[in-house]
Structure 1
């Protein structure tokens, strides 16, 4: 029998609609099956994910204890419950607790662009992306979409996103402000473009530098917000603009850098014509001090060996966006090359060319891509790439990506048997890897029971409530 009479599977005792309104000071204990990576998986060059299977920590009947916004303890329920007789206990037996998921590359202005038909990268930008982003000159529109966007993340179990905004500084303000309302960890930046885009979306090297610097001063490390210098991609930034952003990267050494790299062969040919003095696509960024730790490059599908080696040497990260790569017909990411060259990889949705906000489904497509390359990504590795692996790549694993004591209480409660089919497919005592893989193929947002941010329940399926109502 449980040790505390206040066991429930009820809504948490705080308001879901305004999670910052009241602080939860009493210890809370959550009983469920639990899985996380407490440390970085060793030997990243190993094939077929054996290192990931050996490094995961699983508690079949587990307990997670939080107080205020911090994780206090984790372990087997029988042991942990005895240590905290005063804790309010919520019993989620039969469900799973995972760390909050990390989406390492997506575009909140493209929330309305998802699921438009056809086109490859360059025509997609012209026909869908740029028209959608022009609307963000309206600050109220940006605020409204920021709320919808964050609620979609929460509904799908994502608690941290690396987000492109638009060229409008106010669009970045809107996103940071909405995230701050629920104390959510967001890495974002104003998109910088001074050529090869509509005139309404152009800035200048000077404006890009000044507005980016102002946003850094206002938002970087303000609460859980972090800033990312964000040139959209090489074709839309001149050498002068990349140099101006490189100056900021040199000045602010702990900010992130996010952009796109080698997604599409026509794009690469265009880059080569625009930058004839560069030794390939990556070198365009490298010449301007934009290849380093905390640099996150979306896609990286068509890289040469020199570029793979340079990414590994720089400790930079590739965001693997399988649903987008398949949808736009861009190509198949080479996970084996990433392992061989010790390049950090993190999974990402790339909404809106990406077709889902759901990171489980994103791994499902990553598995299919890797199957086509005859090197399938195991469920253990897939889970790692959206939790601890991503956090470690971004140098944030002291705060997010795991369920270690003293980290921030970002976690999700997952119902593996949420409908008739999953109840038939997933046994009551199914192993972690079977549950995770089956949900990556069969799951959707219905499997997310609750999403907790900084120790507050910000999404509850049963109440159908979001933090930003």
Structure 2
């Protein structure tokens, strides 16, 4: 049966970084018609109700209907250690991340954490994500099995590391290639799942491992490749010592065939001019992880400069280096960091980053990330008065953006009034 979900609707007909807030399309009493898991029609509620009298109606009142949030950079195995007191990146990895990832030798533990992660993500309105797993193939199986059971569009890959990691968390160039290929063949393109080739970052992969993963990517160019780039200054110094022949951090990937369309680099805070140029020329994507950047003290992402350079940019929680599962909190942190660089991101830009922008970064913008006819029906409904503090501020609003901004800055899972995956209501 057709479904009609009614509420305020927010969609994008363009890029608000280019066109301004006018790129958005807002209706105070709109509706989304869902048929067989996709958006079949968009329009005014009264018009669609009259045209489809047999449709099952879910009236969300004044809640804001949007495409579900897309978290473009996640470490689901770090779910259990989120908000752990930390120092710098390398200390944090050694103190928390690596000991936790050792536990994923147990498939049952991997399945438990995967279930917990998806429950938390959905509770915060996140309907798609791109995750790192651990070196263990079972960690990938657990993630994809949990996503598949929920009917979600999800992306992930086995994390590959053959040096500078503890015993039990290292593979080899050959095993990284073999395991990644087997997982790719098992999961890529199954239902709404996509495999991502995943070297953790250059310090934990030898040139030989990066090379074979570059070979695997050439063999399967329809996959994405994800890794980390220029997160912290001491990390960059470490990369220089490990790759003395490289022109810069990006060159450690580029030299091994890990730069191109479909490359997704997390963080990218301390880029050189050459790196910016090459990333743009190659059609690569960057993912901004603002709560992580502040939590671990990494630096301030140059949103305005990188957008002006023409790069694809997504937004992410970076669970669990990031300190929240919420893309609302992530938008708030992105706003705060941009302010420190003298740029006030408009609410339309923040919302676009968390939906269309992240979908573009992951090259799935033809499937999810926007309310448009033909798109998969992954939706979130937001209560714009979810707490007394938010309600008293949004009650004074003169337009949509003034009503929405308090939820961006102060909202959490209490604001999530409904979530639909492939047209099926989850919350």
TM-score normalised to structure 1 length: 0.89
Unpaired segments ≥5 residues, structure 2: none
CA distances 1:227-249 after superposition (whole Å, capped 9, x unpaired): 11110000000000000100011
* 1:270 has 2:238 as partner: yes
In structure 2, what is the Cα distance between the partners aligned to 1:428 and 1:72? 35
In structure 1, what is the Cα distance between the partners aligned to 2:86 and 2:169? 23
Question: Higher helix proportion, which one?
Answer: 2
Alignment of 1:176-191 (within 5 A): 176-191=144-159
3-state DSSP of counterpart to 1:425: helix
**Runs ≥4 in structure 1, deviation > 4 angstroms?**
none
| Cα displacement (A) at 1:435 | 2.9
Contact 1:99 1:411 in 2 (8 A): yes
Question: Which of 94, 115, 120 matches 1:126?
Answer: 94
Question: Which of 360, 367, 376 matches 1:399?
Answer: 367
3-state DSSP of counterpart to 2:80: coil
3-state DSSP of counterpart to 1:79: helix
In structure 1, what is the Cα distance between the partners aligned to 2:78 and 2:20? 33
Q: Which residue of 2 aligns with 1:41?
A: 15
Question: Which of 154, 160, 163 matches 1:195?
Answer: 163
In structure 2, what is the Cα distance between the partners aligned to 1:158 and 1:52? 25
In structure 2, what is the Cα distance between the partners aligned to 1:430 and 1:390? 29
Question: Which of 211, 229, 245 matches 1:243?
Answer: 211
Alignment of 1:278-357 (within 5 A): 278-357=246-325
Contact 2:79 2:320 in 1 (8 A): yes
In structure 1, what is the Cα distance between the partners aligned to 2:130 and 2:346? 24
3-state DSSP of counterpart to 2:81: coil
In structure 2, what is the Cα distance between the partners aligned to 1:165 and 1:203? 14
Contact 2:72 2:361 in 1 (8 A): no
Unpaired segments ≥5 residues, structure 1: 1-25, 461-469
Alignment of 1:46-445 (within 5 A): 46=18, 51-427=19-395, 431-445=399-413
Q: Which residue of 2 aligns with 1:14?
A: none
| Cα displacement (A) at 1:77 | 1.5
In structure 1, what is the Cα distance between the partners aligned to 2:398 and 2:387? 16
| Cα displacement (A) at 1:68 | 2.5
Contact 1:308 1:337 in 2 (8 A): no
Contact 2:377 2:422 in 1 (8 A): yes
In structure 2, what is the Cα distance between the partners aligned to 1:428 and 1:181? 42
| Cα displacement (A) at 1:111 | 0.4
3-state DSSP of counterpart to 1:126: helix
- Greater Cα offset, 435-444 or 247-256: 435-444
Contact 1:35 1:432 in 2 (8 A): no
- Greater Cα offset, 117-126 or 201-210: 117-126
| Cα displacement (A) at 1:393 | 2.8
Contact 2:70 2:128 in 1 (8 A): yes
- Greater Cα offset, 60-69 or 145-154: 60-69
CA distances 1:164-200 after superposition (whole Å, capped 9, x unpaired): 1100000000000000001101110000000000011
In structure 2, what is the Cα distance between the partners aligned to 1:392 and 1:358? 20
In structure 1, what is the Cα distance between the partners aligned to 2:367 and 2:403? 26
| Cα displacement (A) at 1:428 | 8.1
Q: Which residue of 1 aligns with 2:3?
A: 28
Contact 2:72 2:362 in 1 (8 A): no
How large is the Cα RMSD of the aligned pairs? 1.2
In structure 2, what is the Cα distance between the partners aligned to 1:371 and 1:238? 38
3-state DSSP of counterpart to 1:387: helix
Aligned residues: 427
CA distances 1:374-401 after superposition (whole Å, capped 9, x unpaired): 0121111111111112212322111101
3-state DSSP of counterpart to 2:131: strand
- Greater Cα offset, 178-187 or 287-296: 287-296
3-state DSSP of counterpart to 1:142: helix
Contact 1:364 1:437 in 2 (8 A): no
